[in-house]
Structure 1
Amino acid sequence: MFYEDETTADALQADHEAKLDADVQQAEREAAARRSQAHEDAGYCAHLSAVGYLPTPVYEEQRGVRPGQLRRTGGCGTVFASDEAWYAALNEAELNPVKRTGRPGTTPIRQADNAEPGGNA
């Protein structure tokens, strides 16, 4: 969109600069993703997901979690005292590495048919 007092060159320059800014932001995000993946590939937890307290747990990882706490899913099982503690660990996973000990994801307590998981199939 052009304004009456704006030259074509000014408008194109602003558009070009906006595209460059987006490219820089995308490159930064891709670099962060590569660092996180390398951290996990080395066997360390990046603390990317967690589950919180529920009165009736849905996942095995929620058992023993108290109100306000979060437990890391996907490998290390670390219990965080609060959302803030989890976010701090998430943002600084490379500074305080924790070895991954389990499989990725969560373990449902019950299957869709309400049968206990791990039955003989």
Structure 2
Amino acid sequence: MVALDACHTKNKKYPTLLFLATIVDGNNQILVLAYGIAPVEDKDTWCWFISNLKHCIHGLASPNVSDRQKGLIDAVAEELLANEHIHCTFHLQMNLRRHFGAQVFKYFQCLIYATTREKYEEALTILEE
């Protein structure tokens, strides 16, 4: 599973973003597949980054995880047509907490950490209400 993310650098003279593609290896360590530096985070920049990533590793055959940020969803849809795209549950949880409060956040946690189908369906029913 490839994780795609970008973060701001702390360089005040040259404000840029660091783009990363990472995986977790067999030793449970984070391995950086690719990085890029660009001035903005938008669809065009993500398309550039993903296109170069595909070229370097001869396509991406695994699902991609992202935080749904600026242009990333559109770039993944355009550049990785056949790949599955998964949203990071941490970022989903933070958005739920911010927009709907702690109660919805709590039920969403029950949903994503459910260990049985019954617990999952029970949490989903409560969340939908």
TM-score, normalised via structure 1 length: 0.28
Q: Which of structures 1 and 2 has the bigger CA Rg?
A: 1
Question: Which structure is higher in RCO with an 8 Å CA cutoff and minimum separation 6?
Answer: 1
TM-score, normalised via structure 2 length: 0.27
Structure with the largest fraction of strand: 2
